Amino acid sequence: MTEQRIQKLKRKLQEARYTLVHEQTEFAMPLYDMTFTAVRDIYRISTNGTCIFFDPDWLQKLGKTELCFILAHQLMHIALGHTDRPQYFKGDRFHLAADIVANARLALMGWRYSRLQNIGIIYSETFYPKRFGAELTSQEAMEFVPFDPAAVPPGQQKRYMIDSESRWDDKADRGESGTVVLSPADTDPEDLAYDGKLYGEICSFQKEQFRLEAAAEKSGVKEPEKIAGNQQDSSSQENNNESSNSESISLRLQNMRKKRKTEGSCSHTYFTERTWQSSGRKGTDWRQLLQSFVQEELFDYSFTPPDKRFQDSGFFLPDFNKESEKPKEVLFMVDTSGSVDDGMLSAAYSELCRALELYGGGLRGLLGFFDTSVYRPVAVDSAEDIAGVVARGGGGTDFQCVFDYVKNYMKADPPASIVIFTDGKAEFPDASAAGNIPVLWLFTAEASAPFGKYARIRI
């Protein structure tokens, strides 16, 4: 394979991975831990839980929505334990049943397609009797697939199989069997942009209207039933992976990533969960600290109308207009790179809680984390909101990514100001990176910033 073609496939995969992470953040994060390998001896695409193997000729034909869907499909196979299924479930019949379950779960997440041009029919219901796959485990779905796709005429077999199980059992392969196109060490190009049009994309695919609404009106989606306990332990474990309601799919994928890293199969540090909790420290005087640029944004002083208390005097003074008072949004970004320890993160946690409490509803925040990439910020209005946010990170440090995020994704509604908690151990960008947005750097170690204002947090 030529280097030029490798780069084209790599870019295609990076764009899909980047889009998926923005559409389904928690679900798609494991893609950054995976190796994407081009191989010739495969039907379309398959995974062993660590690598995604694909036919380069087939993948090259896929559109953006198709590629994102089939990558999400591979993740769902992993999350539901299909790649670890017992050996006596090998074969196309079980694989088709597993596809039905995986597709139905994806449908609940918004992937409501009945057919994709270069993939084929997206089965999400069993054949006889018809059952929506999300109501079943793969073993149960298999009972309602009364034929083996391997036994149908060769020309019709592809009608039922959208991917392959050929690499499910190759757990030791880390990409050595083919050409590695994209690895966990490959970061996203700086010019990637999320346009938010994955689900809204106008295309020739026929979107299926599932019977979810009708089912919800009756009794909601039925909880998957567990298979009777007369099977082998490995089968029971695989079934539990699918039917457990105590763990979300995202959590199962997180646990999978942790396990892979523990086994040494992946050295990538994206999306590692960090210890993030209150330190019980006294905290900073936020009113004094932020008054130079946050407080000015919080209150509206205007001459229209003027202050009526002085209308009979010779003074014409601006009035404090409560009716036009509204909370302004501050972007709080917390450095979660490898050089920032848990004590520093806990100090940042306490500072944020104190800031929101002191302003008593007059300050709204967006809280995000960054190392060499930004982990999408979420809205926080109170200490209770902060308690529900999970800190992620662990790689290097790149301040530029914060300002790039604001420029690319907050252009329509930029924050009133940016507050960055960091140890300062990185190269600072040029002052122009912030544009006209005020920046406050809160350092957890001795440091200074070339632009904006800065202060030191005592740990």
| Whole-angstrom distance, CA of residue 318 vs CA of residue 5 | 65
What are the structure tokens assigned to 444, written together? 């957890």
Per-residue pLDDT tens over the stretch 156-168: 877 899 999 999 9
User: What pTM value is reported for the model?
Assistant: 0.53
**Amino acid occupying residue 117:** Q
What are the structure tokens assigned to 343, written together? 């004590």
Name the band, by pLDDT with cuts 50, 70 and 90, for residue 187.
confident
Q: In the predicted model, what is the mean pLDDT of the chain?
A: 75
What is the percent of the chain where pLDDT is above 70?
A: 70
Domains of the chain from N-terminus onward: 3-262 (no CATH), 286-456 (3.40.50.410)
Residue 267 or residue 102, greater confidence: 102
Per-residue pLDDT tens over the stretch 243-256: 443 345 656 666 65
**C-alpha 123, offset from chain centre:** 25
Return the minimum-mean-pLDDT range out of 17-21, 207-211, 270-274: 207-211
Name the band, by pLDDT with cuts 50, 70 and 90, for residue 56.
very high
Q: Is 444:421 a contact under the CB 8 Å cutoff? A: yes
Q: Is 83:74 a contact under the CB 8 Å cutoff? A: no
Q: What is the pLDDT of residue 244?
A: 40
Q: What is the pLDDT of residue 199?
A: 53
Q: What is the pLDDT of residue 285?
A: 52
Per-residue pLDDT tens over the stretch 136-155: 899 999 999 999 998 888 77
What is the percent of the chain where pLDDT is above 90?
A: 32
User: Has residue 303 got a pLDDT over 70?
Assistant: no
Rg (CA), the chain: 26
Calculate mean pLDDT across residues 362-367: 77
